[in-house]
Amino acid sequence: MSKKLEKHLQKALPLNKRRIYRVSGPVDLAFLDTLIKQVQIPELIYQPFQPRTELSLMGKGIFKTIADHDVLLQHPYDDYGPVVNLINQAADDDQTMAIKMTLYRVSDHSPIVAALGRAAEAGKQVTTLVEVKARFDEENNVHWAEELEKQGVHVIYGLPNLKVHAKMTLIIRKESSGIKRYMHVGTGNYNEVTARLYTDISLFTSNDLLADDLAQVFNYLTGYFAPKNLKIAHISPNGIADHLEKLIDAESEAELKGQISGIWIKANSLNDTNIIEHLIYASQTGVPIHLLIRGIETLKPEIKSVTNKIKVHSIVGRFLEHSRIYRFANNGNPLTYISSADLMPRNLYRRVELLVPIVDPKCESELAEIFETMWADTVNMWKMKSDGSYARHSKRRRRVDSQALFMEQEFVADRFAEKFVGDEYVRLKVGEL
């Protein structure tokens, strides 16, 4: 911008000179979306891909599948259709008694919102918490909340002084064997549009212990009482931070006893001082710590005698890395969780967030493979150095594009016949995989 135009705007608005900031580049990059659509050069545009569809979660058989075993999906590599199908089937099924759900960001023409309204009109008890303080989506969420109310949905407009950021659904059905509860818990929003662009984890389960916990959480959100003595889940404010700190400290104790230890964390951001202090102590006791942090990260790794056991990677690729995974070695019996929460004060102390354990061994193994494949990435990976700067991964190492592997429904071990453990590759015979 020219100085002449700057002075004109300063006078017209009017603006104090101290409120003017010059930046090297455009302030708003949204115009690029329009520009890209005008470009007809195929090699400059990502080729479309077809996500895998979990057929057992499509159609009317979805409840039978979830009752039989937990199912873990990774979007966008796994199609988001099963999430929409779960709500649709619950809305249209005569055995469904109630649907309880949190909505943080939804699309403009959300099929999930339409299904909730249809369920209420059919006489089912539908309770939805619509977070009207969701940044940039306030107007859209107020609109949908009003529409749902018109259709008979019991709408909760968030909580005073707290954002509800947890992503969860509880469905209650009356079956021949009695009352049965089905759940979906995710790391991403109930938005089928962003589910094609963001990487997130979905868990489908009918675990009774988790159902008891979610029932307490929904009672809390509807104003009855604060949840007490949750059985396997943890919520913020405070509860998630307290539990993660205990898990980190348990790894320190295991390392000091000569037991198997290790911490693997994937999140969008890490800047909570308390969590960082516990991670630093764990590093000093010798616990190997692997952090996949896409964005804000204030813990400097690999500082001698301080954080030398901590390594930090960031993946920036075709899809926005959005899933949160928390995994702890637990002396060879890993404890693995997914969550809506990042490791930031706002998530841990000023929001309602959910941390859920992955109790099914098959699902836990799948999450471990997902993390291992991302950690092995050498194409989209940026590694944080001890001074806080980032460097691209060495080109001398084998080319591993984790997002491309996931699009092909493959993992590191599938492609290279080797098991990736932390920073070390252990070669195995193909038959041992």
429 pLDDT more than 50? no
Residue-wise pLDDT tens digits, 160-174: 888 999 999 999 999
* Cβ–Cβ < 8 Å for 353, 341: yes
Tell me if the pTM is above 0.85: yes
When comparing pLDDT for 176 and 398, which is higher? 176
Residue-wise over 301-333: b if at least 16 C-beta within 10 A, else e?
bbeeeebebbbbbbbebebbbbbbbbbbbbbee
State whether residue 427 is helix, strand or coil.
strand
Q: Mean pLDDT score of the chain, rounded to an integer?
A: 90
Helices (H), 175-238: 208-221
Q: Are 240 and 341 in contact (CB under 8 A)?
A: yes
Catalytic site residues? 165
What is the average pLDDT across 190-199?
94
Distance CA 125, CA 119 (A): 8
Cis peptide bond prior to 357, omega within 30° of 0: no
- Give the N- to C-terminal CA distance of the chain in Å, as an integer: 59
For the four alpha carbons of 343, 169, 192 and 156, in that order, the dihedral sign comes to: negative
CB atoms within 10 A of CB 43: 5
CA 55, CA 129: separation in Å to the nearest integer? 29
- C-beta separation of 213 from 232 below 8 A: yes
The H or E element containing residue 265 is strand 263-267
Candidates 129, 69, 122, 70; CA nearest to 95 is 122
DSSP letter at 394 equals P
pLDDT, one tens digit per residue, over 239-286 is 999 999 999 999 999 999 999 999 999 999 999 999 999 999 999 999
